[in-house]
Amino acid sequence: MRRLTPLEERLNRRLSILNRKLFGFTLIELLIVIAILGIIGSVVTFGVVNGTIKARDGTRKANLAQIANALEQYYTDKGFHYISGNYTSQTGDNWIPNLNPYFRTIPRDPKQAASGVFIADLRSRFLGILKNLEPKPVYAVILVSGTVTGPACVNYGTKYRFTATYEDSAGYSDILYAYILINSTNTYDVTAAPQGAFLAVLNNDIQDFGVKDDSGTWLWSGNGNGNSYADLDRVTTSFSGSGTTLTINWDITFKGAWQSESAQVWTRAADHSAGPTTYGAGQALTIPCPAATPTPTPSPTTPPELPPSGSGYFYAYYSDPVGSYYELWAKLEDPTDPQANTSSTAKCKLSVPNGAPIAFNYCVASHK
């Protein structure tokens, strides 16, 4: 083979440099860059996934703490016993029987709730798009919104909160009176069958609450809190305003004189420049709450079996046939969590119940 002359070697080197500039990186250089990007991507992905896992585990701990608080309230209200039986959150929203008066929806594992939240979010976004397409109304005077939240049923001797909002285009301070009425119809009449009605009002000018007695007389601070059917807690009932919205938290205790009925929570308001609006119906209200279906008492020797699953994430509730204790269980995604039941720093170190459908590793219990 003929040896290249110095001139030919210089030309060859220049062509090699020119070729690199024209055609990019070499294969080795590309492999090195891809490897570096892969390492960076793995680190970022690990951090994101690990953070998401910790967030879900934190939600699980908070959920079980909320359920435990409700169980303690049930224990006090029901003669010092818990709910008997074994249950899992696979059965639906109100998965622990008879606990629904303390929850609108009993919390479930975040992985169970994720699909429902996603669908609800899509529905909310879709309705929001449709709403934006509608022509915007112009309110000349006052509008009472239909926003009233509270329990679906009430029992005697227990205080309940109803949160109502009132809107005025001139601003919340222009509202003079804001009313709440609980009755079958939008008329305050304590004698109409079925008997029972309650009416309260906020005078926004003097910032005082009034309630009507059985004769229809308004009672203001120092003169009484209600009638023979319900009382307003003047201490805890509160209100606040922002922009055009006045929000009132009505705290009401129902009395046993109320006859069983399906009522409505009605709202209306009046501002300084116009008379009161007509009552708008809010949510339905059953008085008193329907009697709970008795929970079948399981045989002490054959406790009810939890539905088999094998894998997945959900909550479980365990108790004995007489409700002398409770155990709440969840499965944390991070088995090294310091509150996992096998950890020396865990608050609850109980053993997972025999026959548990999944590998639970976190508990909250009435006993240690």
Domains of the chain: residue spans and CATH: 55-118+295-365 (no CATH), 142-287 (2.60.40)
Res 267: pLDDT: 86
Strand partners, 142: 168
- Over residues 185-225, the pLDDT tens digits come to 888 888 887 788 999 999 988 999 999 998 889 999 888 89
Comparing 86 with 131, the larger pLDDT belongs to: 86
SS3 32: helix
- Closest among 232, 212, 246 to 144, alpha carbons compared: 246
Return mean pLDDT, the chain.
81
List CB contacts of 57: < 8 A, sequence separation 6 or more: 332, 333, 334, 337, 362
What is the distance between the alpha carbons of residues 209 and 198, in angstroms, rounded to a whole number?
13
> 184-187 — which CB contacts under 8 Å span 24+ positions?
184/261, 184/262, 184/263, 184/264, 185/264, 186/264, 186/266, 186/278, 186/279, 186/281
Q: What pLDDT sits at residue 252?
A: 94
Q: What whole-number distance in Å separates Cα of residue 252 and Cα of residue 226? A: 9
pLDDT at 81 over 50: yes
Q: Is the pLDDT of residue 27 over 70?
A: yes
Indicate if the pLDDT at residue 343 is higher than 50: yes
Higher local confidence (pLDDT), 299 or 290: 290
> In this model, does residue 366 exceed pLDDT 80?
yes
Q: Report how far residue 362's alpha carbon sits from residue 54's, in angstroms, rounded to the nearest whole number.
A: 14
Residue 275 reports pLDDT greater than 90 = no
Give the pLDDT band (50/70/90) at residue 310. very low
pLDDT for the residue numbered 129 = 52
- Considering the entire predicted model, what is its pTM? 0.44
